Amino acid sequence: MLEDVPRTKTPPHLTPHRHRPSAALGLMAAALIPSFAHANPEAQTPPWLAPHESLLVDLKDDASDEDAKEISAIARVSLHLNSIHAADEQFFVGDVEPSELDATIARLRQDPRVENVEPNYVYEALGVPNDPMFDKQWSMKMVGAPAAWARADGRGVIVAVIDTGVAYENYKKFRRVEDLAGTRFVKGYDFVHDTEHANDDHGHGTHVAGTIAQTTNNGVGVAGLAYGATIMPLKVLSKRGAGTAADIADAIRYAADEGAQVINLSLGGGMRSFIMEAAVAYARKKNVVVVCAAGNNARARVEFPAAYKGAFAVSSVGPDRKLAFYSSYGKQLSIAAPGGDKQSGGESGAILQNTILPSEVGATDRYLYFQGTSMATPHVAAAAALVISQGVTSADKVEQILKDTAVDAGPADWDERYGFGILNVDRATEVASSAVGGTSNGALALALLLGVLGIRRLPSRALRGWGITATIVGAIATSCGFFFLRPLMPIDRSDGVLASLATMPLPSWDFVLLGPTYATTALWASAIPAALLIIGLLRVRALRGLVLGAAIGWAAYLFMAAVEGTQDVRLIPGSAGFLDRAWLIGNAAILVGLARLFVRASFAIREKGSLHGTEP
């Protein structure tokens, strides 16, 4: 609990907490809005051991409707699906008398049709808003955003913000805040009220979404770190900033199923939910980067869900690059990021974004300073989006790049307060750029080209008329793109697609045109596209050099993607694992073989044409 939140006389562990019509076991690890704490004392109380009246039951996926009815009868609990999205996973919630909680759980655990059962824990937003532009966003400069924007903006990446909702649409009393006017959104869901309109009635989620993708270079307000990214708003926390394990787990699975590449969880608590843990594992298995706040309890214990295996846990630092006074830390920590610290930097030492107030959900021009690990987490989620937008489709590789490029703030390498160091998106995007199409790809392409052209000492006239320059340009452009032009491009790229195509390797064009959700399929990340080029253009003399270079460049790209482990090939089992690498290397070898045949066939066509005086 943060120090600037007033204390109550009532022991917080005895305070019940309600969710929807039923009460639930409170699980808070956050201080809420100081300016509203007096008006709503319950909102600042962490009821970890409170009486609990809500149960979360996860039946096995093959359980029938009759099974659910029988289990309801056995448990003497009226169970219902948590949301319309919970049917596939058989997620049920129900009310139970507090005195019957333990006995009910014990009975249900004996039933083989029940995969898991636990209290429907409540989690809360991990941030501390206050009241009142890019020059005030010290965090962006700390992580190296201006340099990173020369390489990436997050375009095409979907980031799920699982929070209090987002002020993203004009609907009834809700309005989109002014500095999200140019931000992209996909359909979300409100798991608290079971509606498709995931509007924010608190402010926390909008602030988080702003750090990730606030509209940038629009002459209004502040900037977002991955301003080209798309936000998927998922509301799991109520107006008072609290939500249940059922809704959070439901939202995590929804995000993974609906195409999110990154999930931001700026929430948490001290109680472990195995069902939520399974949801995190599910998302991670689907190659999603799950970024979580470590907690605001100023202790050596990472809160849940950040402590789950597969989560990317984030602690918070202030403008002095020191661990914030409130930040939790511990053995599961992955990285640190700027989340604000008013004790060391005053009001402006917190994180500034455009958001709303609970009492004024229709006001669109509020710019508020919040602090908390909640504010650190979206910096890392945005960084992940920047790396992914450069073509790194493996969640493992994204996380590794972020850790490898972090700047040590404590002992060398890893430590429990800063993880692998403080986030640095400048270095991360530089490494990602090299990994998916940098000088190493180009060097390999030229080496392969020399090898192919040196087959059995082909006579120099084999390339006569093709142009060795065109061949080299084809190899370089295909394997790494004209990446060296990126620093010359303005941040505000109105021709974003064309600029990306010009500076990215040809094998990653599907990523630019289709987005990460549909990119890097086994058909495109293979020898097939280049083979079709060879077959179709073999007899077009003016293009032979470019075609040969493209085939060699494509092979180099696939080989380096396998070595670097950057690509998760869709339709290939596993997440950037052995099978993915075997596929990439195998297709790279096929392309080298095809290039050799192409050179021989082209030379044969030339010789035949020369004999008849009709050289094509």
Q: Are 216 and 181 in contact (CB under 8 A)?
A: no
- Which residue in 520, 592, 593 sits closest to 556, CA to CA? 592
Give the amino acid at 9: K
Name the active-site residue from 19, 52, 202, 204: 204
Closest Cα to residue 131, out of 318, 317, 371, 323?
371
What is the C-alpha to C-alpha distance for residues 245 and 268, in angstroms, rounded to an integer?
10
* Rg over CA atoms, the chain: 27
Q: What angle do CA 257, 67, 88 make, to 5 degrees?
A: 5
CA distance 319 to 296: 17
374 is catalytic: yes
204 tagged catalytic:
yes
Pairing of strands 91-95, 79-81: antiparallel
CB 186 within 8 Å of CB 230:
yes
Name the active-site residue from 58, 111, 153, 163.
163
Angle at the Cα of 580 (from 579 to 581), degrees rounded to 5? 90
H/E stretch holding 118: strand 114-119
Q: Which residues pair with 235 in a beta bridge?
A: 163, 190
Are residues 237 and 161 in contact, defined by beta-carbon separation less than 8 angstroms? no
> Which of the residues 374, 479, 526, 602 is marked catalytic?
374
Chain-centre distance for alpha carbon 25: 29
Angle between helices 578-612 and 439-453 (to 10 degrees): 40
Tell me the catalytic residues.
163, 204, 374
